[in-house]
Amino acid sequence: MTMWLPMIGMTALPHIGGLCSGLITRREVETWYPTLKKPSWRPPNLAFPVVWTCLYTGMGYGSYLIWKELGGFTEDAMVPLGLYGLQLALNWAWTPIFFGAHKLKWALVEIVFLTGTVGATMVSWYPISRTASLLLAPYLSWLCLATALSYCIWRDNPEKKEE
């Protein structure tokens, strides 16, 4: 059973932030979010939890493949797993910025950094495990959509100046 623990733990890890984000989002999707102007092409609200569950599982399992291939948290794992940890922290930070603080411009800046960090993570993973790198491809694609959505929401909903 112990050989399964790292796989299960690393696959589950991203979901922790996802669950916390869901608590913030759930309240705001019913109150604040409907007041925003959004593009017609945005995915329906019900798609987000399904998509994120799949994406978190894929990225978590990919991190396990990298960890396993490099023999754990070794010196060789510092950059690929460090980038992974950075993108995960950026991922978890986006929801409190957007849905919690309602800071549309900062959420846009943050998701641009997140998307770039995921791209860098994929590049660092590719020579180690193509499978792990490719597990991040749907995530990167979704982030490109989310970045465009974040931009449109920021553009179409000017923040009110504090007096």
pLDDT tens sequence across 46-102: 999 999 999 999 999 999 999 999 999 999 999 999 999 999 999 999 999 999 999
CB 55 within 8 A of CB 142: yes
CATH classification of the domain holding 91: 1.20.1260.100
pLDDT of residue 1: 53
Residue pLDDT, tens place only, 101-148: 999 999 999 999 999 999 999 999 999 999 999 999 999 999 999 999
pLDDT of residue 40: 96
Q: Domain for residue 18, yes or no?
A: yes
Number of domains into which the chain is organized: 1
- Alpha helices, DSSP H, located in 70-103: 78-95
Query: What does the block give as tokens for 23?
Result: 């608590």
pLDDT of residue 115: 98
CB 56 within 8 A of CB 95: no
Distance in angstroms (rounded) separating the CA atoms of residues 142 and 102 = 21
Q: Domain for residue 114, yes or no?
A: yes
Give 151's contacts (C-beta < 8 A, 6+ positions apart): 108
- How is residue 78 annotated by DSSP? H
Q: Range of 132's domain?
A: 4-156
For residue 45, count other CB atoms closer than 10 A to its CB.
12
